[in-house]
Homo-oligomer: A and B are copies of this chain.
């Protein structure tokens, strides 16, 4: 049984912690927080609570929390750490993991060189088998990686994607925008295409990114240049068969991101979470070897299955196929609309 520590219990950390606990080959031995609040109360009710620093231990204890120790104590006991601290903080935590000889999974907000390999479980699981430190690419990059790996059966020569990003997560009320479309960044490409190339070095990729006043999901308008010339039906069928891509059929009546989350809630998904890329069937358009489609990506949830696979790739003797199947089965991946 893998002993997993989660450093950082926010949007991603809490979801990865609960998902890891659902697997029968791993257990969460502790999670860290820096300061009190409703998420900390929730963490304490479900897991052993640690402070991200010695000061955090004091702060949390002063607020009345039952704190087991600091992050070093957690790392010492863990077989592997998932670092889900705020973007850019993970690289500063790496020396702690190294000093305890504990492997770690970082998130996409860290620079690529924090890790031995960038990771997407469909694309390059085996590369992570030899790594101590891997980085699960960001939600948008994970979404594109999954799509590319699915379409590779038709041969993918180039990808262009316009990412219409949510402004922030639901409770990030200070981020904005509040009534604008913001170039994010104002240069082209956005960071996503270089990031994707860490996984697909051989594919010509360019991404644009803007952000809008919405908190639900990201929307991606994607154009893919294929080597083959499949029909639209063949593309849809291939997406249907892909385990982490879900198809939105026209009969569902879903035309926006809120409908996807509404359906996820109706189907019993905790927090209305959507782990799958959601592809609108009606948007799939093929002209020769040019394919266009829309997919929505739930920024809070879609990297969760990949984090679980990354834990196994680094720290367990499980094959790619076995890990993906176990992750999917334990979580119930495979949303239908």
Contact = CB atoms under 8 A, between A and B. Distances in A.
Interface string A253-280: 1111011011101111011100000000
Contact of A271 (B37, B42, B179, B272): B272
Contacts of A89: none
Q: What are the 3 A-B residue pairs with the smallest beta carbon separation, nearest first?
A: A265-B271, A37-B253, A38-B252
Contacts of A255: 173
A170 B257 CA distance: 9
A337 interface: yes
Question: Assembly of this chain: how many copies?
Answer: 2
Interface residues of A, number: 33
A36 interface: yes
Nearest to A267: B42
Nearest to A264: B271
A254 B267 CA distance: 28
A67 to B, nearest CB: 15
Interface of A: 14, 36-39, 41-42, 63, 170-171, 173, 179, 215-216, 251-256, 258-259, 261-263, 265-268, 270-272, 337
Contact of A171 (B262, B267, B337): B262
Contact of A215 (B41, B171, B254, B258): B258
Contacts of A256: 171, 173
Contact of A262 (B36, B41, B170, B263): B170
B272 A38 contact: no
Contact of A265 (B259, B263, B270): B270
A272 B337 CA distance: 19
Contacts of A42: 263, 266-267
Nearest to A259: B171
Contact of A39 (B36, B170, B173, B266): B266
Contact of A259 (B38, B63, B179, B215): B38
Contacts of A265: 270-272
B170 A258 contact: yes
Contacts of A39: 262-263, 266
Nearest to A18: B266
A36 B261 contact: no
A120 to B, nearest CB: 26
A319 to B, nearest CB: 33
A268 B216 CA distance: 19
